[in-house]
Structure 1
Amino acid sequence: MTSSHTATTVAAFNKILNQPKLQRSNRTTNDVVEGVKRLRRLILVEGIPSAADPTLRSRIWKIFLRVNDISSDEFASYVSRGPCSVRDKIRNDTFRTLATDRGFKERVSEEMLVRLLEAFVWRNQDRQNSAAAPRLNFTYVQGMNVLAAPFLYTLPSELEAFYCFSRFIEFHCPLYVQPTLEGVHRGLKLLDRCLKTVDPELYAHLRSKNLSAEIYAFPSVLTLCACTPPLDQVLQLWDFLLAFGVHLNVLCVIAQLLLIREEVMNSPSPMRLLRTFPPLEALPVIGIAVTLVRDLPADLYEELVKHPYEIR
């Protein structure tokens, strides 16, 4: 991408983001819907030029997540309570979060992760005890540390990261973080069904080796591919998932399989290849995922859309 083209793309994003309707703290649903439509198109066609304007991604994520109200006093009150009931469980995971990514470690400390996750636990403990308790309860579960990492890396403050992460968990993929990981297991079953539909030969080969998605794709589904480096590609993939829906991560995992299809088909032991996916390449993965949507029956795609949040 040339510098002039990048500048034009940055200007196009800023034109949408700087609209007075989107800048208002009391922006309406219609304001957001129209802005989101235009941002989605730009993300799919151009991608977010975050290197040229480091503020773009955080501003766009807040629009997609509809994060309007941020209270520093509320966040500070959660942090001031100190260790929560699952502090040891959190600490057992946070030290190894994206441990091989130097850039992440330089920007996000383990203490930041612990503070955010404990604040989330305190927030939901209060909500469970309130008169308007939510239908689902939330606490810390496996994988939540990795899901929090992109928010702390991308958002300009812990405060904003906390509210974006909370909104994301509670509204976009609540079933992924239940104690049973119900949404994750549903996603893995749907991955098998979608793969069988779009590439029955590859599906049959994997099944002949006793390989189901539960065995080889659990980390990728659990973390929405955030476990597969490099981080800059993860963030680009998450731009797409936040724009169009986290359900599409299942198809993004299939896309990664299709990119190494030949090696998998020719391997007598595919699990050796699948134990660690190759470095993530967001653009080809997104391109394949978008085309796969058209190959799925309507009823299967509807299940896919709803699986992160619909309570059965």
Structure 2
Amino acid sequence: MVPVIGSGKFITTPIITDDGQPVELEGEPVISSVPDKKVAQWMYFLHQIGLDVIRTDSSLAFYESETNQAKLRDILAVYSWMDDDIGYVQGMNDICSPMVILFENEADAFWCFERAMRRLRDNFRCETTSMGVQSQLITLSQVIKTVDPKLHQHLEELVGGEYLFAF
């Protein structure tokens, strides 16, 4: 669908518009067409993945290699295709990065990441009414309110009672 996946090249610009139409670069479309909504959503994720990969652990010598960056990008691109519900959300790159560093084999790194995401994916769920981590922040608020009511009250007064700072 997108020949750049697996090639070691990066997508750091959008390849489709917000309404799912192919973007043209230098007068030529990057892709010929978008067959369906799932493909359009995935292509939209590829742009964000490309941007996030080049920022991931950029101070590490490991990521000075474009080959290593490409491994991270490819794993995230394949995962976002497989996860129909969430796809890709910023922050997944930070979870995947240690696996790319630790496992030389890209497939091993992918399956380790996929397994970790089974437990963590709800943290990335974003809906109009709630964030994925919102229930955890509510629990944290309740714990602090019980353990240290003065701190909780102080945070409430600072309009920090939703505990978004902890996220």
User: Structure 2 CA distance, aligned partners of 1:113 and 1:123?
Assistant: 16
Counterpart of 1:105 (choices 63, 71, 75) is 63
| Counterpart residue type for residue 63 of structure 2 | K
Please tell me the residue identity of whatever aligns with 1:187. Answer: Q
Question: Which residue identity does 1:188 align to in structure 2?
Answer: L
Identity %: 29
Q: Do the aligned partners of 1:112 and 1:158 also contact (CA within 8 Å) in 2?
A: yes
Do the aligned residues in 2 keep the contact of 1:191 with 1:213 (CA within 8 Å)?
Answer: no
Please, which of 172, 175, 179 is the counterpart of residue 122 of structure 2? 175
Any gaps of 5 or more consecutive residues in structure 1? 1-77, 126-136, 219-312
Query: Are the aligned partners of 2:141 and 2:162 in contact in 1 as well (CA < 8 Å)?
Result: yes
Q: Which structure 2 residues correspond to residues 213-224 of structure 1 after superposition, within 5 A?
A: 213-218=162-167
**Matched-pair contact (CA < 8 Å) for 1:175–1:184:** yes
Match of 1:257 in 2: none
Report the alpha carbon displacement of residue 141 of structure 1 after superposing the two structures with TM: 1.1
Instruction: Tell me the amino acid that sits aligned with residue 143 of structure 2.
Output: C
Instruction: Render the CA deviation track for 1:208-262: whole Å, top value 9, x for unaligned.
Output: 22223543122xxxxxxxxxxxxxxxxxxxxxxxxxxxxxxxxxxxxxxxxxxxx
How far the C-alpha of 1:147 sits from its partner, in A, is 1.5
Q: Which has the higher helix share?
A: 1
Q: 2:99 aligns with which of 147, 151, 158?
A: 151
Q: Distance in 2 between matches of 1:167 and 1:214?
A: 28
How many residue pairs get matched?
127
Deviations 1:245-283 (A, max 9, x none): xxxxxxxxxxxxxxxxxxxxxxxxxxxxxxxxxxxxxxx
Cα distance in 1 for partners of 2:103, 2:146 equals 38
SS of 2:90's equivalent in the other structure is: coil
The answer for the alignment partner of 1:200 in structure 2 is 149
Distance (whole Å) between structure 2 residues aligned to residue 204 and residue 99 of structure 1: 39
Corresponding residue for residue 117 of structure 1: 76
Question: Which amino acid counterpart does residue 71 of structure 2 have in structure 1?
Answer: M
Higher relative contact order (CA 8 A, sep 6+): 1
Letter in 1 for 2:87: T
Find the residue that maps to 2:55 and give its secondary structure. coil
Distance 1:208 1:153, change over 3 A: same
Cα shift at 1:90: 1.2
Shift of 1:196: 1.3
Matched with 2:29 is none
Amino acid at match of 2:164: I
- Residue 54 of structure 1 is matched in structure 2 by none
The alignment yields a C-alpha RMSD, in angstroms, of 2.8
Q: TM-score, length-normalised on structure 2?
A: 0.63
| Residue 89 of structure 1, aligned match among 28, 32, 48 | 48
Q: 1:215 to 1:179 in 2, by over 3 A?
A: closer
What CA distance in whole angstroms lies between the structure 2 residues aligned with 1:90 and 1:182? 20
* Distance in 1 separating the partners of 2:6 and 2:79: 10
Looking at structure 2, the residues matched to 105 and 212 of structure 1 have their Cα atoms a distance apart, in angstroms, of: 38
Q: Return the offset for 1:165.
A: 0.7
Q: TM-score, normalised by structure 1?
A: 0.36
